[in-house]
Amino acid sequence: MANLKTDQKKTKAQSMGMHTEVLTGKTQQKFFNPDEAENFFYWGTHDVDFNKRTELDVKDLDCKEANRKIDSLMSEGYGTIVIKNPQGKHSLGVGILNKLNLIFEGSLGYFGVGSIDGPIVRVNGRVGWSCAENMMAGKVVIEKNAGSCFGAAIRGGFLLIL
Amino acid sequence: MCGIAGLIHRGKSSDVGKELQSMLQALKHRGPDSTGYALYADNDGQNFIMRFKVGENVGEGSTSINEDVSVYDTRKKMVDKKLSELGAIIVKEERLTPYSFRYEIKYDKDLMDFSKKIESVEMVEILSIGKSLELIKDLGDAKTVCDRYELNKVKGTHGIGHARMATESGVDIKSAHPFWGYPFADVSVVHNGQLTNYWNNRRALENKGMRFMSECDSELIAVFLAEKMRNGATLEEGMKESLTGLDGVFTYFVATKDSLGMAKDTMAAKPLVLYESDDLVAMGSEEIAIRSILPQEITTYDPFDGEVKVWQI
């Protein structure tokens, strides 16, 4: 499957097949055919194995580096990622459109795991303001407490504060 | 969007200068314009420490008027003359930048008259007076200000600090936080937010003889609390009254010689994260500020709307 996050802009449309697509109306049917399992996944997502587990220490990473690292681990097929030392950093684990077991061993700052679609997230600490905003699907479990705007504007999924 | 941080060690003193510096540096992205510290240092408690400035040659990025450095010497001499007229004895004097001074003085009369006399000199502003309060504010990030004024060495029990993003008034030292609770020794305030009934309150307080040095809305909190305390209210009572007396969005900290308090407005529109243990209370606009001094796993929480808390050392 083409990876939208790494593809250049010019080739994105090509890799989605838009240049060769015959626009007869039947393409719509084919594109959203629920029988084909691949239509349930986003373009550019990765096939991961929940039994493949790894740890990621984000102590010296900023949020962009950490999020890129999570993406690259998923591309290697890791389905369970344990984040060590989040230490209240902001915007960790945002924009994950993949199935994934994501475990934070510590607390998140503001805007944690925003705009996610699919992953199962467990936070051993607390989360600050605006966690899990704009979530489409998946699960987010917080063990301690959560700040304001938790799960604002969600369209689906499951939120739990223990 | 400003960043505020505060900490209080209960029962012991520590390197508050260094700790507050790393907390504020972690909040740099919330306010790059200026940084201020109010540290409660372990001084002998005999003399008053007066920090004042005679001008603001802070250069680029500032909205203040740049003056020739020679006028500062003239103004300093005038301040010295006023001090001797008041009967205050200068025990020790330090000149930290061309425009800012730290004096240790012996004086035992009314501080309001004292401040009025000193500030009658053109462009002179007293940043703070107190027996343990060291109030420093200047343009630049936390590290720049800390290095310029050698705050790393300061040991004490508690302190509050502020990283400012100017929204309501200019980028200059007079509008920078913390604000001294004129004319009370050892009272300082930092604030994150906007006050919307500034002018109404200011007019009322000015009629009661209180003094405003800047047009920064946050100064109102210091003056508001000082006025309540002058009329016999305790710090906590004054803070509770401020929740209804002040309009707008705010989270602010107040520190006195032996206590530290926080208040959050009734809409809880400004963030605050709090860590509380038996020997240390640390709080900041973001959790990363607390984590910069406590890297281990800790339990923190957000205070609720309209919450007022005061801790003693």
Which CATH number goes with the domain that contains B244?
Answer: 3.60.20.10
A88, A110, A148 member nearest B291 (Cβ): A88
- At residue B209, the pLDDT reads 84
> Is residue A58, in this structure, part of any structural domain at all?
yes
User: Are residues A155 and A80 part of one domain?
Assistant: yes
Mean pLDDT of chain B, nearest integer: 89
Q: Which domain holds residue A32?
A: 9-40
- At residue A28, the pLDDT reads 46
User: Are residues B155 and B275 part of one domain?
Assistant: yes
Q: Which domain holds residue B75?
A: 45-131
* β-strand pairing of B179-180 with B188-195: antiparallel
- At residue A27, the pLDDT reads 47
pLDDT-derived band of residue A8, with 50, 70 and 90 as boundaries?
A: low
| Count of structural domains, chain A | 2
Which has more pLDDT, A15 or B262? B262
Residues in chain B: 313
User: Are residues A62 and A87 part of one domain?
Assistant: yes
Q: Are B124 and B17 in contact (CB under 8 A)?
A: no
| B83 min Cα distance to partner chain A (Å) | 49
> Is residue A59, in this structure, part of any structural domain at all?
yes
* β-strand pairing of B248-255 with B259-264: antiparallel
Which has more pLDDT, B282 or B215? B282
pLDDT at A39 over 60: no
3-state secondary structure of A79: strand
User: Are residues B170 and B95 part of one domain?
Assistant: no
A and B: number of Cβ contacts within 8 A:
46
User: Are residues A155 and A83 part of one domain?
Assistant: yes
- At residue A151, the pLDDT reads 93
Q: Chain A contacts of B268, Cβ < 8 Å? A: 148
User: Are residues B94 and B11 part of one domain?
Assistant: no
pLDDT at A40 over 80: no
> Is residue A2, in this structure, part of any structural domain at all?
no
User: Are residues A156 and A76 part of one domain?
Assistant: yes
Exposure pattern of B32-71 as b/e (b: 16+ CB <10 Å)? Answer: bbbbbbbbbbebeeebbbbbbbbbbbbeeebebeebeeee
Q: Choose the final residue of a domain: B97, B131, B165.
A: B131
Which has more pLDDT, B134 or B297? B134
pLDDT at B103 over 90: yes
User: Are residues A54 and A34 part of one domain?
Assistant: no
User: Are residues B307 and B198 part of one domain?
Assistant: yes
pLDDT at B166 over 80: yes
Mean pLDDT of chain A, nearest integer: 84
Q: What is the mean pLDDT of residues B80-107?
A: 91
pLDDT at B134 over 50: yes
Nearest residue in B to A111, CA atom: B286
Which range (A68-72, A148-152, B57-61, B185-189) has the least confidence?
B57-61
A110, A144, A148 member nearest B286 (Cβ): A110
User: Would you give the distance in Å from CA A35 to the centre of its chain?
Assistant: 24
pLDDT at A2 over 70: no
User: Are residues A97 and A128 part of one domain?
Assistant: yes
Q: What is the mean pLDDT of residues B55-59?
A: 73
Q: What is the pLDDT of residues A63-113, one digit of tens each?
A: 999 999 999 999 999 999 999 999 899 999 999 998 999 999 999 999 999
Which range (A121-125, B155-159, B169-173, B221-225) has the least confidence?
B169-173
Q: What is the pLDDT of residues A134-144, one digit of tens each?
A: 999 999 999 99
Q: Choose the final residue of a domain: B131, B149, B177.
A: B131
Instruction: Tell me the CATH number at B64.
Output: 3.30.70.1110
The packing angle between helices B235-245 and B219-230, to 10°, is: 130
- At residue B6, the pLDDT reads 95
Q: Are A84 and A56 in contact (CB under 8 A)?
A: yes
User: Are residues B202 and B85 part of one domain?
Assistant: no
- At residue A66, the pLDDT reads 95
User: Are residues B306 and B195 part of one domain?
Assistant: yes
Nearest residue in B to A147, CA atom: B302
pLDDT at B293 over 80: yes
| A89 min Cα distance to partner chain B (Å) | 6
User: Are residues A55 and A34 part of one domain?
Assistant: no
> Is residue A70, in this structure, part of any structural domain at all?
yes
User: Are residues A33 and A69 part of one domain?
Assistant: no
Which has more pLDDT, B252 or A5? B252
Q: Indicate yes or no: CB of B287 within 8 angstroms of CB of A106.
A: no
> Is residue A1, in this structure, part of any structural domain at all?
no
- At residue A54, the pLDDT reads 96
User: Are residues B294 and B250 part of one domain?
Assistant: yes
User: Are residues A59 and A115 part of one domain?
Assistant: yes
What is the predicted ipTM?
A: 0.79
User: Are residues B269 and B126 part of one domain?
Assistant: no
Q: Which helix (H) or strand (E) holds A65?
A: helix A63-75
3-state secondary structure of B230: helix
User: Are residues A86 and A14 part of one domain?
Assistant: no
- At residue B110, the pLDDT reads 85
> Is residue A35, in this structure, part of any structural domain at all?
yes
With tokens 């700790």, the residue in question is B19
pLDDT at B76 over 70: yes
pLDDT-derived band of residue B247, with 50, 70 and 90 as boundaries?
A: very high
> Is residue A4, in this structure, part of any structural domain at all?
no
| Count of structural domains, chain B | 2
Q: Indicate yes or no: CB of A90 within 8 angstroms of CB of B288.
A: yes
Q: Choose the final residue of a domain: B131, B152, B185.
A: B131
User: Are residues B154 and B74 part of one domain?
Assistant: no
> Is residue A3, in this structure, part of any structural domain at all?
no
User: Are residues A85 and A31 part of one domain?
Assistant: no
- At residue B106, the pLDDT reads 92
Q: What is the mean pLDDT of residues B270-282?
A: 92
- At residue A17, the pLDDT reads 74
| Distances, alpha carbon B3 to alpha carbons A26, A53, B40, B250, in Å | 56, 38, 20, 12
Q: Indicate yes or no: CB of B301 within 8 angstroms of CB of A129.
A: no
